[in-house]
Amino acid sequence: MSGVLFAGTPQISAQVLLDLIKSQAPVTGVLTRPDAPVGRRRTLTPSPVAQVAQEAGLPLVKASTVDGQARSALRGLAPELGVVVAYGALLPPSALEIPRRGWVNLHYSDLPKYRGAAPVQHAILNGERTTAATVFQLEQGMDTGPIHATRTYEIPEMTSSGDVLADLTSLGSQMLVELLPALLDGSARPVPQVGKPTFAPKLTGDDAFIDPREGAHQVVGRINAMIPEPGAWTLRDGARIKLGPARVFHGKTGGEPGEVALAASDRHSGERVAVMSTGDGAGVVLTRVQPAGRQMMSAADWLRGQQASQQSGTVRLGGQR
């Protein structure tokens, strides 16, 4: 019996691959996207998955799509099972047939909710308090296959999509390791998805604009959902400013939507926090901001600097894009 063909590209995929290797899973080959330009100098760099595979001495296939040449290389690995985690391209039917036991996919939602490319972002954006890591059998439809296992995850307050993805990756890796023997010997019995599906398409920079005229919970959900990608942002006097994680302020604010003021912490820490007023009269605690051309900094420190540089002391975010 041959082993596992792993397909993935970003850091979360690399972590799953590393966990499988550490568990002594029989990984016999890896599929990932080609080297991509990284950094200001746009240096061609192997994907995080490629780097793990190379360090482990695993056979590696780099392909932007699984075309005839890539399929031939994958067939040569004679895999028993395929495992895909954020490869970055759809696997055509001809590729789905290569592993004897087919492919399983690690997805970051409680399927059938949030099928698509950005399940965690949409869950946070919609104010969900829980999500899940799910392993399901891959089919031609988008995230439609029967489910092998699901583990529920409670989304902490003031947590970004990036942090939730990291936690779900740990849960998902553990699930895959536990499921692997049954997946490889064919004794696993997935069950059909039940419930009304919802969809989670990829988010854009326009989706990441923060409008303080929305209510506080909507503003907090949008900020945290967009971190790290595509990155939450708003405007200050027409200039773009990026925002770090936020939470709802449990206290009163008296400003107009978008006005930012220092307030005593509602968590009794004794610290002053930067609070932005929103459209429903509630406030949002801003933790960190990044003005154009500068590094991320404490939102409270940034606000003090803004107030010191102008006579009125009023700082407002938002406005027309």
The pLDDT tens digits for 113-125 are: 999 999 999 999 9
Residues 173 and 251 in one domain: no
Single out the residue of 136, 139, 127, 114 nearest to residue 202, CA to CA.
114
Instruction: Give per-residue pLDDT as tens, 271-309.
Output: 889 999 999 989 999 999 999 889 999 999 999 998 887
- Structural domain count of the chain: 2
CB 122 within 8 A of CB 224: no
Q: Last residue of some domain: 185, 205, 230?
A: 185
pLDDT at 312: 57
User: Is residue 246 pLDDT above 60, yes or no?
Assistant: yes
pLDDT at 125: 96
pLDDT at 101: 97
Residues 38 and 174 in one domain: yes
Q: In whole angstroms, give the CA distance from residue 27 to residue 34.
A: 20
- Integer distance in angstroms from the first to the last C-alpha of the chain? 58
Single out the residue of 64, 65, 106, 59 nearest to residue 82, CA to CA.
106
Residues 32 and 137 in one domain: yes
pLDDT at 266: 75
Residues 163 and 44 in one domain: yes
Instruction: Give per-residue pLDDT as tens, 173-190.
Output: 999 999 999 999 999 999
What percent of the chain has a predicted confidence (pLDDT) above 90?
Answer: 84
Q: Where are the beta strands (DSSP E) in the chain?
A: 4-8, 27-32, 36-38, 43-45, 60-62, 81-85, 103-107, 130-137, 147-154, 233-236, 239-243, 246-249, 259-264, 272-277, 283-286, 288-291, 297-298, 315-316
pLDDT at 314: 78
User: Is residue 100 pLDDT above 90, yes or no?
Assistant: yes
Give the model's confidence band at 311: pLDDT under 50 very low, under 70 low, under 90 confident, else very high.
Answer: low
Q: Is residue 166 part of a domain?
A: yes
Give the model's confidence band at 195: pLDDT under 50 very low, under 70 low, under 90 confident, else very high.
Answer: very high
Residues 170 and 254 in one domain: no
Residues 139 and 262 in one domain: no
pLDDT at 6: 98
User: Is residue 1 pLDDT above 60, yes or no?
Assistant: no
Give the model's confidence band at 317: pLDDT under 50 very low, under 70 low, under 90 confident, else very high.
Answer: very high
Helices (H), 186-248: 216-225
Q: Residue 41: which domain range? A: 4-185
What is the domain-level CATH number for residue 268?
3.10.25.10
Return the ∠ at Cα 166 (arms to 164 and 167), rounded to 5°. Answer: 65
User: Is residue 153 pLDDT above 90, yes or no?
Assistant: yes
Q: In whole angstroms, give the CA distance from residue 13 to residue 170.
A: 11
Residues 115 and 241 in one domain: no
Q: Is residue 202 part of a domain?
A: no
Residues 27-45 have a mean pLDDT of 92
Residues 211-223 have a mean pLDDT of 96
Residues 164 and 36 in one domain: yes
Residues 23 and 141 in one domain: yes
**CB-based contacts of 8: which residues, under 8 Å, 6+ apart?**
14, 16, 17, 30, 31, 32, 49, 84, 85, 86, 87
What is the domain-level CATH number for residue 64?
3.40.50.170
Long-range contacts of 304-312 (CB under 8 A, 24+ apart): 304/262
Q: Is residue 221 part of a domain?
A: yes
Q: In whole angstroms, give the CA distance from residue 153 to residue 149.
A: 13
Return the ∠ at Cα 86 (arms to 84 and 92), rounded to 5°. Answer: 60
Residues 44 and 128 in one domain: yes
Q: In whole angstroms, give the CA distance from residue 236 to residue 218.
A: 20
Instruction: Compute the mean pLDDT over every residue in the chain, rounded to the nearest whole number.
Output: 94
Q: Is residue 27 part of a domain?
A: yes
Main-chain phi, psi angles of 103, to 5 degrees: -120, 145
CB 259 within 8 A of CB 294: no
Q: In whole angstroms, give the CA distance from residue 107 to residue 233.
A: 27
Residues 17 and 66 in one domain: yes
